[in-house]
Chains A and B, each alone.
Chain A
Amino acid sequence: MEFFLVQSLNGISYGLLLFMLSSGLTLVFSLMGVLNFAHASFYMLGAYFAFQVSAKIGFWPALVVAPLLVGAVGMLVERWGLRPVHKHGHVAELLFTFGLAYLIEEAVHLIWGRSAVEYRVPAELDGPLFQIMGSQYPIYRGFMMLVSVAMLVMIWLALTRTRIGLVIQAALTHPQTVEALGHNVPRVFMLVFGGGCALAGLAGVIGGNAFVTEPGMAAAVGPIIFVIVVVGGMGSLAGAFIASLLIGCMQTFAVSLDWSLGGIKISQVAPVLPYLLMVLLLIFRPKGLMGTREG
């Protein structure tokens, strides 16, 4: 029972982190039709920026500064990289972000080296939060959940209650009309792209020290968030939310369970499970959990 409780909490905190990543990706995809292949690279940038900034001025300022920096990088990329490619179509945009992922990974190699950096959980968040029947639950896991939920509530409020949020929502479905009403839609695109990157950056700030900050972290998490987007249904935020929690819990349980099936341990099969889920879903429900488009 205690095992189940602790693992579900771990799974939910991991799932929320995944949703912070996949929500930005989904928003950008539904607004611009661009699947940002470099999204996980911005997650990695967030972790590295946080490492650098927290070494200078501490973790708490870094929690704010690093995502803003990542967002700024994202906006620059949208303005000077993605927008000129837009006229060549979606495949060119996807390829551009694919090349960008290469470049960011290599730049990280060049600047911070090939091994992991010492990005640690701050001392005040280190330690157990509470005990359930003898097993401890770390404070930092709780902090991760808190940050993710707070961020998601803020985004939801921003999208539904503010003027710019309404413009973004309108631009999702009727970009021409929004433009005709005098709003600068390309600038909205830039803001959303930067916002999505900042969200990924924030996930990097809190995920980088919970797990490990190394040049391979983008390639490790990238495919998972793409699977989430496909499983949830392309462009559906609600679907991405369900899929994130599902895959977060599935991964956490699979890694920690000790069962074996035909000589193969569940923990060994863990890396394949999300992809298997994707394949099965595509066979039985091609549009994803909450998706609307079939093609």
Chain B
Amino acid sequence: MKYEPLNLGRWILWSATALLFVAAPHIFQGGFALTMLTQMGTLIIFALSYNMLLGQGGMLSFGHAVYSGLGAYATVHALNFIGKGQIYIPVPLLPLVGGLAGLAFGVLFGYVTTRRAGTTFALISLGIGEMVFACVLMFPGFFGGEAGISTNRVVGTPFLGLTFGPAIQVYYLVALWCFLGMAAMFALTQTPLGRMANAVRDNPERAEFVGYSTQHVRFLQLVLASFFAGASGALSCINFEIVSAENVSPIRSGGVLLATFIGGMPFFFGPVIGAIVFIFFVVALSGFTKAWLLYLGLFFVLMVVYAPGGIAALILMQLQVIRAGRWRELAPAYALALLAALLALAGVIGLVEMVYRLSEQGASTVLQVFGLSFDARSAPPWFVFTAVLAAGLAALRVTARQADERWGAIQLELQAKAAA
């Protein structure tokens, strides 16, 4: 018998997550919020499955959309077969179809990609991604070419009275699978395979000496990850009722990498945060500005340089301080740094929006930013925003260093207290 105390914190956390999934559409009401929530649920599974490679296995993949996209294609054909009455699968079980398709392709491509690790793995995954993308455009009969294949999710006999016509039913389907997927992937991190994946990531040589084939461990990890990726592809197919070449595109693969890294790849729950932030950027911000990809890219690069642990690491750094009840000492320094950051951000936004207006043909060069109206062709706004940016950056340099020093000092004291 193993000594296993009841992990109360973990039970509370998972129950709270489940409650949040149930309550979310009631907290954030309206059709737009529901679309965003559904997409978040789908991306959470996808990002978590990606993190099985990057965070847990140390495999930087540039072609993960292959598995989700091919899973989605399998689902769309299954849905169309159901629609014609040739087969019957209840719609809620379709993610299994997508998952199994993803898994099958994971076995096929994973055999090639996982032969190598590190940078070479990254390049090969990129090559496989490009290859599949090119193939999808090459065989329009099965893949529908650029336009893709559309379908109808309201098919067959309703399952337990659910037709999955209304968006809210789709949300709960996604939420259920998302929760199951999260639980399953968390459970996988606790298995010997999950542990060995960590070992292979940290020190492949020692893992070999313990008696494991690193290639085999990488292969298994990738195959399992591609199952969940395929399931997420199936959910997105049910949600959007269309699957096109875009689903397997390198842009998708890059997107899930961005989401996972921004959230925080060293932590299990990091990609969950990342998926939420990413959908916010893609769905909400893209409605405001056409330069949203630039902002997303800037955000990503800043995270790589200054916070390689992602948002999750930033949160965990504060949790310790809050637990020790010393948050108040940090608050003023953080407030100042935040102000400086907002100032710099205002400068960046002003400059980017002006450049964009000047380059776009036919667009009005008169901008309305921050409640002000001005012409991007005149010189003054350029000087003002450059000055704002410079002032913001200078202030940020000072305030960020102060906040960092304060945090470091508190951290040292806490460590000393813990040691005593």
25 A-B Cβ contacts within 8 A? A35-B119, A35-B122, A85-B304, A95-B304, A96-B305, A98-B62, A100-B301, A102-B297, A103-B297, A106-B294, A110-B291, A110-B359, A111-B355, A113-B360, A223-B127, A226-B123, A272-B131, A272-B135, A275-B127, A275-B131, A275-B134, A278-B124, A282-B112, A282-B124, A295-B204
Q: Give every chain A residue within 8 A of B118 (Cβ-Cβ).
A: 90, 295
Question: Which positions in A face B, CB cutoff 8 Å?
Answer: 29, 35, 81, 84-85, 88, 90-92, 94-96, 98-100, 102-103, 106-107, 109-113, 219, 223, 226-227, 229-230, 234, 264, 268-269, 271-272, 274-276, 278-279, 282-283, 286, 295
Interface size on B, residues (CB 8 A): 44
Contact indicator B300/A282 (Cβ below 8 Å): no
With A96-B305, A112-B359 in contact, do A90 and B119 touch (Cβ < 8 Å)? yes
Interface residue? B92 (CB, 8 A): no
Interface residue? B293 (CB, 8 A): yes
A239 to chain B, nearest CB (A): 13
Contact indicator B352/A110 (Cβ below 8 Å): yes
- A122–B210 CA distance with the chains assembled, in angstroms: 64
Contact indicator B127/A94 (Cβ below 8 Å): no
Q: Which of A92, A103, A109, A234 contacts B308 (CB 8 A)?
A: A92
- A275–B124 CA distance with the chains assembled, in angstroms: 9
Contact indicator B119/A94 (Cβ below 8 Å): yes
Interface residue? B77 (CB, 8 A): no
Chain B residue with Cβ nearest A90:
B119
Contact indicator B301/A96 (Cβ below 8 Å): yes
> How would you classify the secondary structure of chain B's contact residues: helix, strand, loop or mixed?
helix
Q: Give every chain A residue within 8 A of B258 (Cβ-Cβ).
A: 99
B293 to chain A, nearest CB (A): 5
Chain A residue with Cβ nearest B135:
A272
Contact indicator A95/B127 (Cβ below 8 Å): no
Contact indicator A91/B138 (Cβ below 8 Å): no
Contact indicator A268/B138 (Cβ below 8 Å): yes
Q: Give every chain B residue within 8 A of A278 (Cβ-Cβ).
A: 124, 127
- A260–B128 CA distance with the chains assembled, in angstroms: 24
Contact indicator A107/B120 (Cβ below 8 Å): no
With A94-B60, A99-B301, A113-B359 in contact, do A279 and B127 touch (Cβ < 8 Å)? yes
Interface residue? B115 (CB, 8 A): yes
- A224–B359 CA distance with the chains assembled, in angstroms: 30
Q: Give every chain B residue within 8 A of A109 (Cβ-Cβ).
A: 293-294, 359
9 smallest A-B Cβ distances: which pairs? A275-B131, A102-B297, A106-B294, A99-B301, A271-B134, A223-B130, A103-B297, A99-B300, A275-B127
Contact indicator A223/B126 (Cβ below 8 Å): yes
- A113–B136 CA distance with the chains assembled, in angstroms: 28
Within 8 A of A (CB), among B124-156: 124, 126-128, 130-131, 134-135, 138
With A276-B131, A295-B117 in contact, do A226 and B301 touch (Cβ < 8 Å)? no
A283 to chain B, nearest CB (A): 7
Chain A residue with Cβ nearest B352:
A110
Contact indicator A275/B304 (Cβ below 8 Å): no
Most buried by A among B131, B250, B296: B131
Contact indicator B361/A113 (Cβ below 8 Å): yes
Contact indicator B122/A94 (Cβ below 8 Å): yes
Q: Give every chain A residue within 8 A of B179 (Cβ-Cβ).
A: none
Q: Give every chain A residue within 8 A of B58 (Cβ-Cβ).
A: 91
- A272–B124 CA distance with the chains assembled, in angstroms: 14
- A112–B58 CA distance with the chains assembled, in angstroms: 38
With A113-B360, A275-B134 in contact, do A295 and B116 touch (Cβ < 8 Å)? yes
Contact indicator B297/A106 (Cβ below 8 Å): yes
A276 to chain B, nearest CB (A): 7
Contact indicator A286/B116 (Cβ below 8 Å): yes
- A92–B126 CA distance with the chains assembled, in angstroms: 17
With A111-B359, A275-B130 in contact, do A103 and B117 touch (Cβ < 8 Å)? no
Known A219-B250, A230-B124, A272-B131; 7 more pairs at CB < 8 Å: A84-B305, A90-B118, A107-B294, A113-B360, A223-B127, A282-B124, A283-B112
Contact indicator B297/A279 (Cβ below 8 Å): no
- A236–B196 CA distance with the chains assembled, in angstroms: 32
Chain A residue with Cβ nearest B111:
A283
Q: Which of A91, A272, A295 contacts B134 (CB 8 A)?
A: A272
